[in-house]
Amino acid sequence: MAKSKNPSYANINARAVLYAVLIIVAAYYLLPLILMIVTSFRSMDEIRMGQLIEWPKTFSFDAWSMAWSEVQIGAREERGLRPYFINSILMVIPSVAISTILGALNGYVLSFWKFRGSELFFAALLIGCFLPFQAILLPQSQLLGWLGLSGSLVGLILTHVVYGVSFTTLFFRNYYVNLPHELVKAAKLDGAGFWVIFFRIILPLSAPILVVTVIWQFTQIWNDFLFGVVFSDPSSQPVTVGLNNMVNSSTGEKQYNVDMAGAIIAALPTIVVYVVAGKYFVRGLTAGSVKG
Amino acid sequence: MAELKIDNVYKSFGEEHILKGISLDVTDGEFIILVGPSGCGKSTLLNCIAGLEDVTTGDILLGDTNVTYEAPKDRDIAMVFQSYALYPNMNVRKNIAFGLEIRKMPKAEIAEEVARVAKLLQIEPLLDRKPSQLSGGQRQRVAMGRALARRPKIYLFDEPLSNLDAKLRVEMRTEMKKLHQRLGTTIVYVTHDQIEAMTLADRIAVMKGGIVQQFGTPQEVYDDPANMFVAGFMGSPSMNFLRCEVTKQEKDYAVQIESQGTIFQLPVDPKQADLSSYVGKTVVLGIRPEQITHVMPHLVAEQYITQVPVKIEVTEPTGADTLILARINDQECECRVHPQEAGKVGESMELLFNMSKAVFFDEQTEARL
Ligand SMILES: Nc1ncnc2c1ncn2[C@@H]1O[C@H](COP(=O)(O)OP(=O)(O)OP(=O)(O)O)[C@@H](O)[C@H]1O
Ligand SMILES: [Mg+2]
């Protein structure tokens, strides 16, 4: 108190420094995105004439429609990123839904319906979280071959579900062990069985962890490139692979504006998910640590 | 409604042995109170009865059926949990109705039942609130309501009134008793409250370390404790334990006490204990504070009453009585006197020791003599 005569000024200074740092950091992360957006609205002529980094003189959506539905990618008949984007959606929705549901059920069983060896089962499942993608490529392609699912969307979905269940189970299990066990005991005495307890008692309490899991799985699966490139054929490739093929098509001159637009298109769904549900994501991540 | 037979039940969590051979025969419609120090396995026993924990060995019979391996929902038992265990996502009304819905009771009857229970427990204004919007005592009443809405074979209550304020607790205690008289359902009830135990119970089971120390009517447990633990556990303020030597009198025996340098012989009622083999040895005299009172002239001449002057070390007025801490045989001894008769700290005071209800314990085994 004695040292700083006017504490409010000290506060303002501290705030100013804090905000300055935050703005710099935010700018550092935002600049590439801004550059991408700006470039995507410039025409190729303009880019060729001037600098790579420059404010657009004319504003056009040409690059976007090129990337979306006109650019020739590989030797495909259909043009643009659109078919890849649709593949991604067809892949991500069932993958996220199935892996999340399985994770919730696993977590529920591992927390409230323990059986002999359930701890071991959980430990074994956790190993899945530490397996690098690369480690399962060969056995998984072998397996998909046996199942007759090589190169199909279903095979890709299966791969994502299996790989994701370790994580989703971990999330739900760690959330559920913090719920009071008496809830399930009371419900059992009230006459409720396995499914009734799950749907009427446990699931309604799972909103925070559901959001976390869905966001996590959505970003993981949407952004995945490795599984997408290994386990698909041209008809089932996801947008990440499509983008890669588009950018790396070596015919003609590099179309920076189209590449940028394509990259934004490929990233758009995850950005939207974060903006819409990010608040719940942070809340859900910390939910387990606070009692009540 | 059913009788409950717990037959030599053991329960271990891994290497931790919690229940070590519990056997209780509860007759149909009895109100049983379980008491015992924290961690002695009361809640665990209730969980075993309800089927929420598997017993390690032993049997649990409900009526004529052995339910040891039946699922909780098939046992038809309602329980109030120590931690309430209200469903956080449902409002009070739904919480109470849940069990009835699951058991497919018609909607109109459910509404009727919820209203009846809400009235009984004075929670009508709370019916549309979520559990998180309730105080501890209100939650406890909702938890009670959830159990009372059903008509199970047996009710299990795990400290159902512990969070209520004193007035409501007394009211609810009376309600519990009325409820039991009306329904006649068998009840097993855990409490830490001495008065609750004495007033509600048909029989009390005193537990310690996973073993039933004594199972008897409140009066039996109070007057005729099986061992020193039961004697000390039941009753508040608790029984005085004084180590003293047994002496032989003309035809009976006595225990010898010393107060303020003078020796007194307190005669032992032969109905209470046979101390013939303990002459010259030390036993533990158990005497309740209310057996040591101020001098009442009409009692002085009674056979088992002895007048002893003691030095007052502490006085504790409770309103109805004043508790006096005296020093006997160099051990502390609590006595219960009329507030107006109580002397001041440091003074000497004449007290009457009534030995007609005194009990005696072996110094080593703490068993009753
Ligand atoms: N699931 C469990 N795993 C291991 N130990 C347990 C488990 N549940 C209870 N215990 C132990 O069993 C003992 C008895 O617990 P219990 O809850 O039955 O005590 P209690 O008599 O109800 O005590 P309180 O009066 O404090 O409620 C305690 O020592 C407790 O730590
Ligand atoms: Mg308990």
| Closest listed residue to residue A186, CA positions, set B151, B160, B82 | B82
Whether the predicted pLDDT of B100 surpasses 60: yes
Q: Verify that A40 and A86 share a domain, yes or no.
A: no
Are A159 and A262 in a shared domain? yes
Q: Do A201 and B87 touch (CB under 8 A)?
A: yes
pLDDT in tens, B15-70: 999 999 999 999 999 999 999 999 999 999 999 999 999 999 999 999 889 999 99
Same domain as A110, residue A184: yes
**CA–CA dist B155, A191 (Å, integer):** 15
- Which of A31, A63, A95 terminates a domain? The answer is A63
* Statement: residue B179 has pLDDT above 90: no
Asked if A47 and A88 sit in the same domain, the reply is no
**Residue A77 placed within a domain:** no
Instruction: Let me know whether A97 and A34 are in one domain.
Output: no
Contact B85 A183 (CB under 8 A): yes
Q: What residues of A are in contact with residue B89 (Cβ under 8 Å)?
A: 201, 204-205
Same-domain check for residues A218 and A115:
yes
| pLDDT of residue A290 exceeding 50 | no
Q: Residue A19: is its pLDDT beyond 60?
A: yes
Nearest-Cα residue of chain A relative to residue B150: A190
Give dist(CA B218, CA B224) in Å, integer: 10
Domain membership of residue A234 (yes or no) is yes
Each residue of B189-200: pLDDT tens digit?
999 888 899 999
- Which residues contact residue B65 at a Cβ distance below 8 angstroms, ignoring those fewer than 6 apart? none
Pocket test residue of B40, B54, B55, B159 for ligand 1, highest count of atoms within 8 A of CB: B40
Number of domains in chain A: 2
- A68 domain residue, yes or no: no
Q: For residues A92 and A50, state if they share a domain.
A: no
* pLDDT over 80 (residue A207): yes
Residue with tokens 């499942």: A125
Is the residue at A11 inside a domain? yes
pLDDT tier, A288 (very low <50, low <70, confident <90, very high otherwise): very low
| CA distance, residue B82 to nearest chain A CA (Å) | 9
Q: Are residues A16 and A87 in the same domain?
A: no
B188 CB within 8 Å of a chain A CB = no
Q: Is residue A72 in some structural domain?
A: no
Kindly state whether residue A228 falls inside one of the protein's structural domains: yes
On whether both A94 and A22 belong to a single domain, the answer is no
Mean pLDDT of all residues in B265-278: 88
Do A57 and A110 lie in one domain? The reply is: no
Report whether pLDDT(B9) > 70.
yes
B211 vs B22: CA distance, rounded Å? 6
pLDDT at A287: 52
ipTM score assigned to the predicted complex = 0.81
Cα gap A150→A203, rounded to integer Å: 35
Q: Given a cut of 90, is residue A70 above it in pLDDT?
A: no
Tell me the nearest-neighbour CA distance from B89 into chain A, angstroms: 6
For residue B315, what pLDDT is reported?
A: 92
CATH number at residue A249: 1.10.3720.10
Name the pLDDT band for A101 (thresholds 50, 70, 90).
very high
**A125 and A39 share a domain?**
no
Q: A22 is in which domain, residue-wise?
A: 2-63
Q: Above pLDDT 70, what percent of chain B?
A: 100
User: Mean of the pLDDT values across residues B104-128?
Assistant: 92
* Cα separation, A263 vs A243, whole angstroms: 7
Pick from B358, B323, B361, B357: nearest CA to B342 = B323
Secondary structure class of A171 (helix, strand, coil) = helix
pLDDT for A1 equals 44
Mean model confidence pLDDT for chain B: 91
Please report whether residue A74 resides in a domain: no
pLDDT tops 70 at residue A6: no
Indicate the average pLDDT of chain A: 86
Q: Which two tokens stand for residue A8?
A: 């409010």
Contacts of A205 in chain B (CB under 8 A): 88-89
What pLDDT was estimated at residue B128? Answer: 93
**What is the average pLDDT across A209-238?**
91
Residue of B nearest to A201 (CA): B87
Across the range A98-127, mean pLDDT stands at: 93
Q: Over 80: is that where the pLDDT of A53 sits?
A: no
Residue A71: inside a domain, yes or no? no
Q: How far is the CA of B44 from the centre of ligand 1 (A)?
A: 6
Residues with CB under 6 Å of ligand 1 are: B 13, 16, 18, 36, 38-44, 82
Indicate if A27 and A172 belong to the same structural domain.
no
According to DSSP, the residues that pair with B205 across neighbouring strands are B34, B215
